[in-house]
Amino acid sequence: MRIIYSPEQLAHAPLRENNRGEIGPAFEQPERARRVLDAIRRAGLGEVEPPEVFGDETILRVHDSGYVDFLRTAYDDWRAIGRRGDAIANVWPVRGLRSDRTPVSVDGRLALYSFDSMTPIGEGTWPAARAAANVALTAAASISQGSEHAAFALCRPPGHHAAADYCGGYCFLNNAAIAAQYLRDKGASRVAILDVDYHHGNGTQTIFYDRPDVLYVSIHADPSTDFPYFLGFADESGDADGRGYTKNLPLPQGSDAAAWFGAFAEAAAAISAYRPDALVVSLGVDTAAGDPLAHFSLDTADFRRLGQQLAAFGLPTAIVFEGGYRIDRLGGDVAAVLEGFDAR
């Protein structure tokens, strides 16, 4: 399996985040990527390669150009008016307020282009997010040319909560969606995205919600109890031409590995029935027991089994890293997925 990583992704280094009513240390920190990298090297899973540099075209097929411009300039605009620290919204255009106009003020644009206050934009955010997109694109390109059967994109910051025109849930550019779009543009007729992060990938779902050419299937915590709270319910199944091409498998907090793999079997059946040409996996390992932001209980052996079951699709596969916050186990769990995949 090809492994792609860029140290430029470490430039996004939020010091603090707003969580549980307190401004505390950020969960989504550079150390996460370093841990995964170390574990991959230790397990001898293959050479770690830097990404190729891609232009913006695939990013702009997934994201709104006004949003991309905002991400590129927000921090400089924030500093230009004398703000210190990271740029964070403190107001949002909710029901009945107008979101059809782009505010001049950076505070207004932060409001328009984000959906939470836990996703700070700092000096290194855009360079890191842009590098992560290159990492995902390189993984997609290596499976699309048929030169490799599988590739792991060690992306950070994660992507699956980022929609066409808003950031949130620690995500800015939707790396998995960008990979899927690239595969479509290079000739795959149908691409399936399987999202196994603990949290629902609201961004990925909305990007492809009215399209039949990309199937989105997600196993995640019930949004009535867990972030992102407002999307990811079982009755969301796609719209317009995309009707039937979104499948959500929410599970209650406390679900064990047996329940999780039961949902996986349902997800796998939907993917096989779709007969995709390629598979993109949004791999979050925050389903691990003891993850500080989650309430499932997979162990390292379960992650190895997940890798085996992903390989069993027999498809060209790009695995894109998303969440996972238990810093002491995160690397080993990702390595276990990749080992399981390679072993099969």
Catalytic residues: 161
The answer to whether residue 284 forms part of the interface with Zn ion (CB under 5 A) is yes
Of positions 13, 16, 18, 19, contacts ligand OKP by CB under 6 A: 19
Nearest distance in Å: CB 147, ligand OKP: 30
Task: Please check whether residue 19 is in contact with residue 311, taking contact to mean a CB–CB distance below 8 angstroms.
Answer: no
The answer to whether residue 284 forms part of the interface with ligand OKP (CB under 6 A) is yes
Task: Please check whether residue 242 is in contact with residue 211, taking contact to mean a CB–CB distance below 8 angstroms.
Answer: yes
The interaxial angle of helices 330-343 and 300-311, nearest 10 deg, is 40
The answer to whether residue 197 forms part of the interface with ligand OKP (CB under 6 A) is yes
Of positions 70, 152, 198, 245, contacts Zn ion by CB under 5 A: 198
The answer to whether residue 158 forms part of the interface with ligand OKP (CB under 6 A) is yes
Cβ proximity to Zn ion: between 293 and 315 the closer is: 293
> Count of alpha carbons within 13 Å of 310, Cβ hemisphere only?
35
Cβ proximity to Zn ion: between 152 and 296 the closer is: 296
Output the furthest CA–CA distance in the chain (Å, rounded). Answer: 55
The answer to whether residue 197 forms part of the interface with Zn ion (CB under 5 A) is yes
Of positions 227, 245, 296, 303, contacts ligand OKP by CB under 6 A: 227
Task: Please check whether residue 323 is in contact with residue 333, taking contact to mean a CB–CB distance below 8 angstroms.
Answer: no
Q: Which does 227 bind (CB under 5 to 8 A by kind): ligand OKP, Zn ion, none?
A: ligand OKP
Q: Give, as ranges, the residues between 175 and 194 that touch ligand OKP (CB under 6 A).
A: none
The answer to whether residue 20 forms part of the interface with ligand OKP (CB under 6 A) is yes
CA 187/CA 175 separation, integer angstroms: 19
Q: Give, as ranges, the residues between 300 and 339 that touch ligand OKP (CB under 6 A).
A: 322-323
Cβ proximity to ligand OKP: between 323 and 332 the closer is: 323
Nearest distance in Å: CB 65, ligand OKP: 25
Paired residues of 215 in beta bridges: 192
Cα torsion angle, 115, 245, 304, 183, sign: negative
Q: How many CB atoms lie within 10 A of CB 76?
A: 12
C-alpha triplet 276, 223, 115: angle, nearest 5°: 90
Q: Give, as ranges, the residues between 76 and 95 that touch ligand OKP (CB under 6 A).
A: none
CA 26/CA 15 separation, integer angstroms: 6
Of positions 89, 121, 281, 293, contacts ligand OKP by CB under 6 A: 293
What single string gives the DSSP state of each residue in 190-249? Answer: -EEEEE-SSS--HHHHHHHTT-SSEEEEEEEE-TTTSTT-SS--TT----GGGTT-EEEE
Task: Please check whether residue 325 is in contact with residue 27, taking contact to mean a CB–CB distance below 8 angstroms.
Answer: yes
Of positions 199, 247, 304, 329, contacts Zn ion by CB under 5 A: 199
The answer to whether residue 199 forms part of the interface with ligand OKP (CB under 6 A) is yes
Residues that bind ligand OKP (CB under 6 A): 19-20, 118, 158, 161, 169-170, 197, 199, 227, 284, 286, 293, 322-323
Residues that bind Zn ion (CB under 5 A): 197-199, 284, 286, 323
